[in-house]
Structure 1
Amino acid sequence: MTSVRTAVFPIAGKGTRFLPATKAVPKEMLPVVDKPLLQYAVEEALAAGVERLVFVTAQGKGAMEDHFDIAYELVETLRAKGKTAELAAASDMVLDPGRILSVRQPQALGLGHAVWCARHVIGNEPFAVLLPDELLWNPANPALAEMVDAHARLGGNLISVLEVPAEHTHRYGIVSPGTTDGLITEVRALVEKPAQGTAPSRLAAIGRYILQPEVIGLLADAQSGAGGEIQLTDAMARLIGKQPFHALTFTGERFDCGDKAGHITANIALALARPDIGPVVADWLRARSL
């Protein structure tokens, strides 16, 4: 079975919910502790054995590519000052030439359109899609690596899901479930942002997908869906019954970093997990909980 060699990162959004911070800085470059949000998703993809990282970007987003390049002036300054730890941190995520490919999404027409913009790089093989807004935290078993392992057994299409409260189902793409085997659930249908009280389950797609290339052809003639945008969920739904389609329940901790409260929570949680700063943060929290 063909391995998942390509991962698509739809990162062309304006990040308006984080203004004014995102006026000049891409939302994906906002830090969680000391790494930009995008880096967590890239590290997750690399841990899963992905070879090609496709950034679907827009005007003014060059900082994201620069982050994974060599910053020569910074490197030389740190080396001259003997700051070895800082030098290692600055050089840690410099990737091999050609590993990152960038394509433009000239108009914000939805997630499905962003994935379609990467069609020439994807080619005719399975590919992954990662939404960096969704920080899926499980260092021992990263989400995409777990999905790649499951995909090797199941083939077809695979999405990552979590159970969400019933009152939140209208915010997500929701699975209509079939048979279940442990963490694997057969997907019989997908509903994008169902009206409150109409969701077929509480299993919500959480921003990780492994898809067959046939979805690209469906996106090419897609009509506008929920929110007037070209929805990836709608195209995926048309593959159900034609190809195997499953959902894998994520076993780690999920942070919605497209939301201010979720981003702050992610910073606190990941800071607490760090031995260098965790005790200080924990003491601060305890002092304010009295």
Structure 2
Amino acid sequence: MLDNELGQFLRARRASLRPDDVGVISHGMRRVSGLRREEVAVLAGMNADYYTRLEQGRERHPSPQILDALSQAMRLDTDARTHLYRLAGAVPSGRTTTTTDQVSPAMRQLIDGYPLGAAFVVNRALDILAANTLTQALYSPFTRADNLARMTFLDPAARQFYTRWGQTAEATVANLRHAVGLDPNNPRLRATIRILTEQSPEFTRLWNTHNVRGKTHEAKHFLHPDVGPLALTYQALDIPDALGQQLVVYHAEPDSPTAQALKLLGSLHATRDHTPNT
């Protein structure tokens, strides 16, 4: 899966581009999806044979100048361009050996003390490492709230919970692609991708598109069986002293229906936790 990531990425991006996207005039029947190798080479100002070697994995260390040219030719955005550089070994991978899944006591205290929204910590594999009570209430429809990617693709509750499931699925896969570029040898990340590839055809299809995207700040739309629809914005922040961890916070507009629903959800969750079993 990771043996020729650079070539696979280039092929997938080439296949996703139409001639009109890049100003290429197309003549006659096209036997390939997207651009031809020769067309990419012309757009990037390089030899077609050299570009072919890049896709086939016979050339794995293009220069920064070549990568810049390919980024422009393929119309890569910032995340995809950074990912391309990392796959080519042109961007330092950073202190990947020091990644940790241990959440500090200070961070746990911070998320536990945030009462207005769902706050949790994830690693690069999208494992939920720590979560406040409102996060637990939010994700209570799932069999277990352990990994955002597994929950999205393998838990039956996902299709109803995520009212825009297709968008959520695409963003989740693109985020994992981004993580692979940052930390390609992370064993937990590789295991997560392997399991999802084996068990979810939808994941495999999206994985093979090679779309790359870090976390954004787009609104999240959920449908919770206890309180109905929720429209939440969120922030995802890297934790400086815990490489590979991100703090994610979902919050609602003040005095909005979603804010009232979150308060109700928190109360219902607290009541259930304190109700003795009969």
Question: Per the shorter chain, which TM-score range?
Answer: under 0.3
User: Would you tell me which structure has more strand in proportion to its own residues?
Assistant: 1
Larger-Rg structure: 2
Q: TM-score, normalised by structure 1?
A: 0.25
Q: Normalization by structure 2: what TM-score?
A: 0.26
The structure whose RCO (Cα within 8 Å, separation 6+) is larger is 1
